[in-house]
Structure 1
Amino acid sequence: MSSLVVCIDRGAVVAGTAGETPVVGERAVRSLVTAVGLDDPENSRVNCLLEGLRLTRERRDEGEEPVLAVVSAPDESVDSDRAIARQIDDLLADHPVESAVVVTDNAADERLVHVIESRVRVDGVSRVVVRQARDLESTYYLLKQFLADEQLRATVLVPVGLFLLALPILVAVQNVTVALATIASVAGLFLLYKGLGVDAALAVLAGGVRDGLYTGRVSIVTTVVAAGLALVGIVAGVISATPLAAETSALTTAMAFLFDSVPWLAIAALTASVGRALDEWLRNARVGNAALNLPFVVVAVAFVVRGFAAYFLERADVIEPLTVPPMALGIVSVQEFAITSDIRLVAFVVAGVCISLLGVGVAARLGDRLAVESSAESS
């Protein structure tokens, strides 16, 4: 049984390389594959010709007598289709076959199948689809996995959809500039929210608060109180620094903010640290050295920061020098005198260092005593 394996080329690729069509025979087609591939390695016609060679080999292995041929035309016009029809007629005249298999590399060439089918029985059509590059395939599968992941869809597609819905509404209410600025700001906040892991931190915080409420932790209450005190301190600092912003330097304004806010912030930190220490004592019947030392560190830092803030403010004539009122202790009397800014700074720094050292000593002694008592009770 003889059959025809015909490769269709519309575009003058084969005709321009071979010079004369149809090209008949496996040896001639192999030479044509090499020539076309060397001229343009990215041309899909090379794969079409190779598919023709593969089908010819398969049919020969099945006991048939295949005839491989390549027909070509310069373009997709009617005259080109008639030229291909004449080439098919010549092939059938020279090689009487009973059936044919058509090989193409695109849907446009398949329109010529009916031309061939009107002259010989067509058993099949093989369209060669070239595999995409690895990067493109990887991108496709990554997109497929992305669309299958519910969490990723909610993280990416939902915000994009909301932005696209909000854009026309904002454009209708405001102008385009305001709409784009709003969208960009919200997008930036969302990226920072995800990039900095704020969502994870909030989830951990919410879980800690929930567990604290269920277990009755004292630190929950003290933390809320500390947050309120810190807010009071920030407001007090802003109120104190605002009148100076237009009259003095940025450094003086910052020092004014610290001078009035540090006491409140220190009390807030003390409240939170005491709550943490109480929780640790209630949970473990002992308090670690770090929890015992933390209140002293807070007070020491507050003294040092307030001392430096007072020094700069006094040098800038924002606050008055510290004045000691007159005192009388028996036969000893002290007249009123003012403490200079340098002595005031040294006094605050020395006080901070002493408080810090006192905290280290208290934490070491009390921590060791609590540890001994805890071990004695456990034994």
Structure 2
Amino acid sequence: MVCLDRTDDVGRKTGLRSPVVGWEAVRALVTDVGLADPEDSGVNSLLETLRVAQDLRDDGEAVVVAVVSGDRESMVSADRSVARQLDDLMAAHDPESAVVVIDSAEDERLVPIVESRVRVDSVDRVVVRQARDIESTYYLLKQFLADEELRQTVLVPIGLTLLVFPMLAWFVGPAEGAAAITTVIGLFLLYKGFNVDEVVTGLARRIRESLYSGQVSVVTYAVAAGLTLVGIFVGVLGVSSLEDASGVALPAVQFAFDSVPWLAAAALTASAGRLLDEAIGEEPIRGSYLNLPFIVVAVGLVVRGFSAYFLEQQALIDPVRVSAIELGVLSIDTFGIAAGERLAGYVVGAIVVSLVGAKVAATFSGDADRTVLEDVAPESGLTDGGPQELDGWRSDSDGDSSPGSESEAADSARDEDGSGPDYPR
């Protein structure tokens, strides 16, 4: 039996040096510690050590009771002191196993030191019932205060709140001060919850790398940002021109109808810049970058078509009319295109554009994959034409595979006498 005391509470309160070995010595130690500090949980851990030792003796086992303490200089010196005392106990008594008694989270850090020297059959954790919640709260607060990131995240905002709120309450009133404080705290929680700091840091790093590497996408992203602002401005102007802008649906449709050409142009410009960077680079162009501009155009056509359909139903835009056409003997009179026909044309155009994009991406990405395979094939021994020898198997250029010379010899031997080595086929 070994009772662990990492912070040397026993030595500090009684003046005794550890280890304390023997039933009577530990029993006397209980009295000394109890008289020095009756509220110390170490008294309970010493009594638990004696109780478990008595139970083991009643079962006929030979038990040696010992109390091992650290020192108060530092945690490292305390652990080394415990290690030295355990080595002395191992040399003096040579135990087969040990039962460890602890009463705190600090003492539990010594368990691996005991396990490195002797087999530990059990770890008896003593918790005083009246102090369980207090002790748990204490160790949680201690671990919290030891974490620098948690301190900066929680304690700093609380401190600033306690400092700023009295000033706001004095100058603008308690209600306004509380509203301002809760707004700032809400923004801070959203900032940390959505990892805005990591997103901003990553974006700044990518922009810096793009500027230093001279990528074309830097310029196209700037152009795309300008086109996006123009699209938003045009959409807001379209909404402001509505005579009856009540509700949400109709202004949203008008905004989408007016802004989607500019927004699609912005996305197309950004994707074109990224595609140019891929084309300039040494690696083959991935199919996703080839297909992205077509997807942008297709989505823009769909949004434009549906928004135009709803606006035409509300008589906010005029129907499409085709002027008369004279082509020699062929003459086509002026005619109009209904809202449904216009929507169908936009949808069909979007589908055609997306199919063309998928075909282009598959064609060029397939060529890139074949180029990579041709570059890798000579290094791996895979060449076109002629037989291939791989682990005793020969592969002809026409795709047929047959066993190599070793397998053929084995098959011949088996055919002659019906025996021979059984090679896997």
TM-score, structure 1 normalization: 0.63
Q: 1:278 to 1:376 in 2, by over 3 A?
A: farther
SS at match of 1:317: coil
| Contact 1:222-1:272 within 8 A present in 2 as well | yes
Query: For residue 282 of structure 2, what is the aligned residue in structure 1?
Result: 284
Distance 1:153 1:373 in 2: 55
Per-residue CA deviation, residues 53-81 of structure 1 (Å, 9 max, x unaligned), is: xxxxxxxx58xxxxx9xxxxxxxxxxxxx
What does 1:218-367 align with in structure 2 at a 5 Å threshold?
218-244=216-242, 246-367=244-365
- Per the alignment, residue 369 of structure 1 pairs with 367
User: What aligned pairs does 1:60-139 form with structure 2 within 5 A after superposition?
Assistant: 133-139=131-137
Aligned residues: 263
Call closer, same or farther: CA 1:329–1:148 in 2, change over 3 Å. Answer: same
CA positional deviation for 1:102: 6.5
> Equivalent residue of 1:328, what SS?
strand
Which 5+ residue runs of structure 1 have no aligned equivalent?
Answer: 1-60, 63-67, 69-100, 107-129
What CA distance in whole angstroms lies between the structure 1 residues aligned with 2:252 and 2:243? 9
Identity of aligned residues (%): 49
Distance 1:249 1:333, change over 3 A: farther
Structure 2 unaligned blocks of 5 or more: 1-23, 26-30, 40-127, 379-425
Query: Structure 2 vs 1, CA of residues 347 and 102 (structure 1 numbering), >3 Å: closer, same or farther?
Result: closer
How big is the shift at 1:165? 2.3
- Which moves more between the two structures, 190-199 or 211-220? 211-220
Q: TM-score, normalising length from structure 2?
A: 0.56
**8 Å CA contact retained: 1:252, 1:316:** no
> Over alpha carbons, which structure has the higher Rg?
1
Higher relative contact order (CA 8 A, sep 6+): 1
Aligned partners of 1:255 and 1:312 also within 8 Å:
yes
Whether the aligned pair in 2 keeps the contact of 1:245 and 1:253 (CA below 8 Å) is no
Residues 285 and 245 (structure 1 numbering): CA distance in 2 closer, same or farther, change over 3 Å?
farther
SS in 1 for 2:281: helix
| In 1: Cα distance, 2:221 partner to 2:136 partner | 50
- Whether the 8 Å CA contact 2:239–2:245 is kept in 1: the answer is no
The whole-number CA distance in structure 2 between the counterparts of 1:134 and 1:242 is 66
Deviation at 1:209, TM superposition (A): 1.7
Q: CA deviation at 1:131?
A: 7.8
Q: Which structure carries more helix by proportion?
A: 1
Rounded Cα–Cα distance in structure 2 between residues aligned with 1:174 and 1:240 = 40
Q: Please tell me whether the aligned partners of residues 245 and 251 of structure 2 are also in contact (alpha carbons under 8 angstroms).
A: no
Code of the aligned partner of 2:297:
V
Counterpart of 2:361, as a letter, is A
Residues 235-287 of structure 1, C-alpha deviations (whole Å, 9 max, x = no match): 21122123438445422211101001111111111111112212222233421
